[in-house]
Amino acid sequence: MARRALPALLLATAAVADAGSAPGLAFYAVLVAIPVVATVALSSFGELLDAESSARPERLVQGLVWALLLVLLVFGASVRAPDVAEGVVPMAAVSMLVAGLVALALEAALDLVATAREARPETHALARGLPAEPLEGNRRGGVLRQVD
């Protein structure tokens, strides 16, 4: 959660600066956010590679969302750059900023889901809809199978 704080703050600063007619500040906020998001994206993919083979799919999607956010910020900064001196905010830059904020919200939701699943203890057989007692055929010395 802490690693989302600085990119979210920088993107919120850019959005407020765009709304307050300060496109120069918005450009530099987006520009500073690029290496921050790149670091977080690489860290996310590194954690995914270090994890067990049973890593949650939410973590993979989180890494992809960070990579998408990085691409959005790079394109947004490149669209803003020529118009910074004129004080104009291109619509494409605003669209990429909004898409970046949506990507951050999606990443936050994925983090909540992944954290909740990792913190949840193993579910009981009854909660998964499996019978509490072994099947009749398995009571007579048959091999019990583990159902996942």
State pLDDT tens for residues 33-86: 999 999 999 988 888 887 665 566 777 888 899 999 999 999 999 999 988 888
pLDDT of residue 144: 57
What is the predicted pLDDT for the residue at 125?
A: 47
How many whole angstroms separate alpha carbon 43 and alpha carbon 81?
A: 28
**Confidence (pLDDT) at 83:** 86
Report the pLDDT averaged over residues 97-123: 83
State how far Cα 87 lies from the chain centre: 32
Among the ranges given (10-14, 64-68, 115-119), the one the predictor scored with the smallest mean pLDDT: 115-119
Band (pLDDT 50/70/90 cuts) for residue 87 is: confident
Domain ranges of the chain: 2-139
Query: What sign results for the dihedral spanned by CA atoms 78, 79, 82, 87?
Result: negative
